[in-house]
Amino acid sequence: MATVTDTPSKTSTNGQHTNGADRPNSIPSVYKEPAPIVDRDNPLESMMQRFDRAAEILKLEPGIYQYLKTPVKSVIVSIPIQMDDGSVQVFEGYRVIHNDILGPSKGGIRYAPDVNLDEVKALAAWMTWKCAVVDIPFGGAKGGVCCDPRTLTMAQIEKITRRYTANMLDVFGPDRDIPAPDVNTNEQIMAWILDTYSMHVKRTEPGVVTGKPIVLGGSLGRREATGRGVMHSALRAMEKIGINPKQATVAVEGFGNVGSISAELLAEQGAKIVGISDISGAYHNDGGIDIQKAIAWVESHGHLLEGFPDAERITNEQLLTLDCDVLVPAAREDRITKRNAHNIQAKLIVEGANGPTTAGADPILESKGILVVPDILANAGGVTVSYFEWVQNRGGYHWTLDVVNERLATAMNSAFDRVYAASLQYKVSLRLASYILAIDKVAKTLRLRGIYG
């Protein structure tokens, strides 16, 4: 059922390339002449453009460049499900392991109608760089199932999850590849993955997933970890550019796990949240939005929807260009592009989402003097506490919430400081500095381990 490709072969399923997209196999021209930045709204291209720049600064050997730009494994599975009316519907699922040289690969699984292999490849590579930036011993992976959860019942989502897991038995494992929640997946879905995997290996294996319910071995603080990490990154960055958090105004795009918790924790630090949005719409209030009220509203209505009280309805596009100090994009990729980057008014962008800014927008934001804390640093709190969860599972021991939060704060703040120092050393943006640190770490490990075969 599974199509597995190992570097450097090229396999395709349903006409989709599983290796290297449309990039040539020869040494890239970026070594001779930096390619002009283009804004293709393709997360894989955006990731590769940043990777190329960092590789160039590091003068990465061509062989190591080739190795690191290519996922070590891409798996495509077909997931046939019997629907409630007896008909059969077939979904497509992906798991890409970008690199596992630092340790077992780690990365979330998303369920969405527009999930595709290029997106999953980009997200998998970001996980490699993210784990390296925060210095945890994991490689990078990502998974996805192309489906629209809004049109599926819980029973159908469970069937999809179990069949996807069964198809990935050779991929997943606590010492091999460890999934976690991402867009439209949650701790219940992690519980089904744990159960399906455990049934097949004939022992309960909590370490095969993270972000699972506490009672199944989940970590205290995991649910809030990404938002908490965003809050730490935002505070550190505000300090660097002289914004007092107690006087700061913040707009947050996306009001799911990352967005709502980032907003809640920044509000707790004294910031005024002047704008929020979700897929259903955006709201603005210069006097500040009551985030607890908004969370309760979403809990009871499912979305912010028309009618959220005490705030003016604006468009999702206007939310991104609100007059505020800090913008936290925490929804999906490609939200800040060269089309709207000129209109961003925030002084600081803290990327809660993966890939919210395209490579084409980077130079525009830089020329406007906007400081961007990049995704692979800003939202690394989630994978950091996932790592803590895995460590607790392996030790058969629970840490208190205080211990988890304290270790998360230390990890996030020291990662920020390392990246900030690298940005001064190389005279580059925080984004490029993060890539430089991450690629350098993985490349050094690769040189020491050598190439087998």
**Which positions are annotated as active-site residues?**
142
Which of 50, 232, 236, 332 binds ligand NAD (CB under 6 A)? It is 332
Cis-peptide into 28, omega within 30 deg: no
Looking at 80-88, 231-239, 277-285, 341-349, which segment touches ligand NAD (CB under 6 A)?
277-285
Where does this chain touch ligand NAD (CB under 6 A) — which range of 20-28, 41-49, 275-283, 306-314?
Answer: 275-283
Nearest to ligand NAD of 344, 443 (CB atom): 344
Residues in contact with ligand NAD, total (CB under 6 A)?
Answer: 24
Q: Which is nearer to ligand NAD, 92 or 351 (CB)?
A: 351
Stretch that binds ligand NAD, among 154-162, 325-333, 360-368, 443-451 (CB under 6 A): 325-333
User: Using CB under 6 A, which residues numbered 203 to 242 contact ligand NAD?
Assistant: 226
262 binds ligand NAD (CB under 6 A): no
Q: Indicate the DSSP class of residue 451.
A: -
- The two structure tokens encoding residue 278: 């979700």
* Cβ(379)–Cβ(230) below 8 Å: yes
Which residues in the 156-195 window bind ligand NAD by CB under 6 A? 181-184
Q: How far apart are CA 406 and CA 411, in angstroms?
A: 9
In whole angstroms, give the CA distance from residue 106 to residue 129.
11
Residues 6 or more apart from 432 whose CB is under 8 A from it? 50, 53, 54, 57, 423, 426
Going through 290-428 in order, the beta strands assigned E by DSSP cover 312-314, 326-329, 348-350, 371-373
Q: Which residue is nearest to ligand NAD (CB)?
A: 256
Classified as helix, coil or strand, 17 is strand
Report the amino acid identity of residue 171.
V
Strands 281-284 and 312-314: antiparallel
| Residues from 359 through 418 that contact ligand NAD (CB under 6 A) | 379, 382
Q: Smaller CB distance to ligand NAD: residue 383 or 446?
A: 383
As given in the structure block, the two tokens for residue 358 are 């395209």
CA dihedral 148, 153, 156, 157 (to 10 degrees): 60
Site for ligand NAD in 424-443 (CB under 6 A): none
Does position 142 interact with ligand NAD (CB under 6 A)? The reply is no
| 279 counts as binding ligand NAD under rule CB under 6 A | yes
Query: According to the binding rule CB under 6 A, does residue 305 interact with ligand NAD?
Result: no
* 82 phi, psi to nearest 5 deg: -85, 120
AA identity, residue 428: V
What is the DSSP code string of 83-96?
A: -TTS-EEEEEEEEE
Contact residue for ligand NAD among 43, 221, 254, 374 (CB under 6 A): 254
Shortest Å, Cβ 61 to ligand NAD: 31
Please, what is the minimum distance in Å from the beta carbon of residue 88 to ligand NAD?
28
Q: Please report whether residue 255 would count as binding ligand NAD according to CB under 6 A.
A: yes
Q: Which one of 132, 234, 258, 439 is in contact with ligand NAD (CB under 6 A)?
A: 258
Query: Residue 213: exposed, middle, or buried by beta-carbon count in 10 A (0-12, 13-18, 19+)?
Result: middle
Q: Could you tell me which stretch among 233-241, 250-258, 388-396, 438-446 binds ligand NAD (CB under 6 A)? A: 250-258
* Span interacting with ligand NAD, options 28-36, 164-172, 346-354, 365-373, rule CB under 6 A: 346-354
Name the minimum Å distance from CB 383 to ligand NAD: 7
- Answer yes or no: are the C-beta atoms of 53 and 46 closer than 8 Å: no
Task: State the minimum distance, in angstroms, from the CB of residue 183 to ligand NAD.
Answer: 4
Q: Does 337 bind ligand NAD (CB under 6 A)?
A: no
The number of CA neighbours under 13 Å toward the Cβ of 183 is: 28
Q: Which of 274, 264, 275, 100 has the alpha carbon at shortest distance from 172?
A: 100
Site for ligand NAD, rule CB under 6 A: 181-184, 226, 253-259, 277-279, 316, 330-332, 352-354, 379, 382
